[in-house]
Amino acid sequence: MGANDLIIPCAHCGAKNRVPKERLEDRPVCGRCHRPLSSGFSFPKEVMEISDWSFQREVLDFPGPVLLEFSSPFCGYCRVLEPVLDQLAAEYAGRVKFVKLNIITNSLTASQYGVLSTPSLFLFRKGNVVDKILGAVSKEEIKKHLQPIL
């Protein structure tokens, strides 16, 4: 391993990836699952998929505001909400981190937070839930909920 290399764990599968510091701007992907890697406490410009394994690091330990969508691949409303969250992630890049957790494959975190339906949006600040939005809502409604946590 070179002096300019970083070890970045994948938020989705947990694989450890060696990435040269000078290549961080190239948007590296995981060698195992090929999903984008997050290097530290950054605000990605897109919705990032997380797992039960990475929830603590990506949401609770994150110093800034986080919007977490509990979703299901079988939920039509989640699919309707997906492009809205993608737009908001780009719009709020650098201010709010947007993450998504599949409740089918990551039921531990969903049960800890009492999630019974999808989509469920939870807003976190400094590791604490500060607001919840249940169901598919408009972009404007989500923005109203984001304002107080900025």
Instruction: Please give the positions annotated as active site.
Output: 75, 78
- In terms of DSSP bridges, do strands 66-71 and 120-125 run parallel, antiparallel, or are they unpaired? antiparallel
Distance CA 84, CA 78 (A): 10
